[in-house]
C-alpha cells in the first residue's frame, strides 16, 4: 500500500491589517516586508509574517492530516476487502 497523492500545499500569508495576500514587497537591504495595500511594515520580515499567520498555517496542517488519515483508511479498506474472515 502506497499513497500516490501529493499532499504538499502553498499557503498564502496574509497581512494582519488588511488581509491582502498579494501586495508584499521585501526590502533586500533590511529584510523587512511591506504590504503595499495598507503600507504596514513587518520589520521581522518573512519570519514575522509566518509567526503572525500561525493559526492559518496550523489550520491548513490539520486539514492535510485529516486528508491523509481518510486516504489511509480508504486504502486499508481496499486491502482488507480482499480477505475473508
- pLDDT for 30: 96
Contact 3, 78 (CB under 8 A): no
CB 18 within 8 A of CB 35: yes
DSSP state of 21: S
Write out pLDDT tens, residues 29-70.
999 999 999 999 999 999 999 999 999 999 999 999 999 999
**Global confidence as pTM:** 0.77
Amino acid at each position: 500500500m502506497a499513497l500516490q497523492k501529493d499532499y504538499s500545499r502553498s499557503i498564502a500569508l496574509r497581512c494582519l491589517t488588511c488581509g491582502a495576500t498579494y501586495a508584499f514587497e521585501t526590502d533586500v537591504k533590511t529584510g523587512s516586508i511591506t504590504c503595499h495595500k495598507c503600507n504596514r511594515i513587518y520589520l521581522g520580515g518573512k519570519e514575522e509574517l509566518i509567526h503572525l499567520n500561525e493559526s492559518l498555517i496550523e489550520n491548513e496542517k490539520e486539514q492535510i492530516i485529516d486528508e491523509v488519515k481518510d486516504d489511509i483508511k480508504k486504502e486499508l479498506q481496499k486491502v482488507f476487502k480482499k480477505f475473508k474472515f
